Structures are given as C-alpha cells and as structure tokens.
C-alpha cells in the first residue's frame, strides 16, 4: 500500500506509530489480568481442602470397613460386643460351652457357602454347627434334619441355655440350624450372600420359622 492509497493523506509510518501504542496497551493489560488470576486460583479455599478432606475420610474409614465383617449396629447385633464379653465370663456357662461360644463368635463374618464345612471355604448352617462342636469333641450328623434327633429336646423356648441347638423350618420339616448364645439370640450361617451372624429368636423371620431346640450332653 502506498501513501496515496491511504485515506485523508495518512502515511504508513504515521499509522504504524499510532497502532504500536495500542497493541502495547493491550499486551500490558492482558499480562496484568493474568498476574491477578494466578494467585486467585492458587489460593482457592474450596478446591484443595475438599480433596484433602476426601482423602482423610477414605483413610479413616477404610481400615474400619475392612475389619468389621459384621454390622454390630444392626437391630440383631446392637449389644453384641457386650453380650459376647458377658457370655464368655458367665459363671453358669460350662468351660466346654464357653469354648463353643468363643469359637462361634470368632467365626462371625465368615461367608456362607452351600456345603461348606470350614472357615477357609465358608459354611452352610449345619457345616458351621458341626465345625464348632468338633472343637469340644462332639461329632454331629452332617445335615440339620439329622442334628434335630441328637441330644434332649427342649420344648419350652424360655428354657433355652447357651449352647443349645435351635432348629427352623416350615410345615414341621427342619431345614436350618443355629447355636443359641443367650438373651434370645443365636449364631448361624443364614443363606447365600450372607455371612455368619447373630439373629434374634424374639421377633422377625427366624422367630416365625422356629421349630424346636436340642440340648447336647456337653451342655450339662
């Protein structure tokens, strides 16, 4: 472009002298805005602490979750920790039955497995009961229906004592067994997808399915 082609007689040199200060102003303004924005991002009070808090929460909860195989806060298990300590120290509980209770409580949280008979592979209901009683030298039949013929029948539910076997089913046919641990509760391996746990005889599903109880010779 020549000087003659510029409007109003402006020359290239005069136009360049006007444009350079404008560009310089824009550049300096952009630099100033960037300098102000960087500290604001670095000092954001919400972003960094939120991440730190989340990591702290995970670090706090993970160990507890990995250890807690059984929910002690559930309705069935709410006073379980105190109950375990009381039963183990109860003067009316024989040493053999105390061993049964201790072994059963130690297995809380073991996964259910149909046909399972040991803590490595998991337990079904009769597998758990048989395993626990073998620790005191008592061999029981493999299935719950056959276990229901062992020992002495306890006809009054109010007369149950620690270590009694409690049986459940429908239409008079036994299909489940657990170990009574006192205070209206029993330990058992419920079903697929559930772990060895403590449930109540006082109300709910198992109260309705209760059929009978048996007391083995080891209880006396």
| Paired residues of 118 in beta bridges | 122
Residues with Cβ within 8 Å of 107's Cβ and at least 6 positions away in sequence, in order, are: 119, 123, 128, 131, 132, 187, 196
Residue pLDDT, tens place only, 151-167: 999 999 999 999 999 99
10 has catalytic annotation: no
Rounded to two decimals, the pTM is 0.62
CB atoms within 10 A of CB 61: 10
36 has catalytic annotation: no
Give yes or no for residue 91 having a pLDDT over 60.
Answer: no
Report the pLDDT value the prediction gives residue 31, as an integer from 0 to 100: 55
If asked whether residues 32 and 118 sit together in one domain, one would say no
Between CA 190 and CA 194 the distance in angstroms is 6
Report the pLDDT value the prediction gives residue 29, as an integer from 0 to 100: 54
Residue pLDDT, tens place only, 184-220: 999 999 999 999 999 999 889 999 999 999 999 754 4
Q: How many domains does the chain have?
A: 2
Average pLDDT over residues 75-97: 61
Residue pLDDT, tens place only, 42-58: 333 333 333 333 333 22
Which of 25, 50, 66 is the C-terminal boundary of a domain?
66
If asked whether residues 58 and 150 sit together in one domain, one would say no
């Amino acid at each position: 472009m020549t000087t003659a082609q510029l409007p109003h007689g402006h020359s290239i040199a005069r136009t360049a002298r006007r444009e350079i200060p404008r560009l310089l102003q824009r550049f300096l303004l952009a630099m100033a805005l960037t300098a102000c924005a960087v500290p604001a991002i670095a000092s954001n009070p919400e972003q960094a602490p939120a991440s730190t808090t989340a990591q702290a929460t995970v670090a706090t909860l993970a160990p507890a979750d990995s250890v807690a195989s059984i929910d002690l806060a559930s309705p069935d298990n709410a006073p379980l920790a105190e109950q375990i300590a009381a039963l183990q120290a109860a003067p009316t509980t024989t040493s053999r039955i105390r061993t049964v209770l201790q072994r059963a409580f130690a297995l809380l949280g073991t996964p259910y497995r149909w046909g399972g008979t040991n803590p490595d592979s998991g337990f079904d209901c009769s597998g758990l009961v048989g395993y626990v009683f073998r620790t005191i030298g008592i061999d029981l039949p493999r299935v719950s229906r056959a276990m229901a013929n062992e020992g002495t029948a306890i006809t009054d539910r109010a007369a149950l004592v620690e270590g009694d076997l409690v049986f459940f089913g429908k239409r008079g046919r036994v299909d489940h067994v657990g170990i009574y641990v006192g205070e209206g509760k029993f330990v058992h391996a419920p079903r697929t997808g559930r772990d060895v746990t403590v449930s109540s005889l006082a109300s709910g599903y198992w109260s309705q399915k209760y059929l009978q109880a048996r007391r083995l010779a080891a209880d006396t």
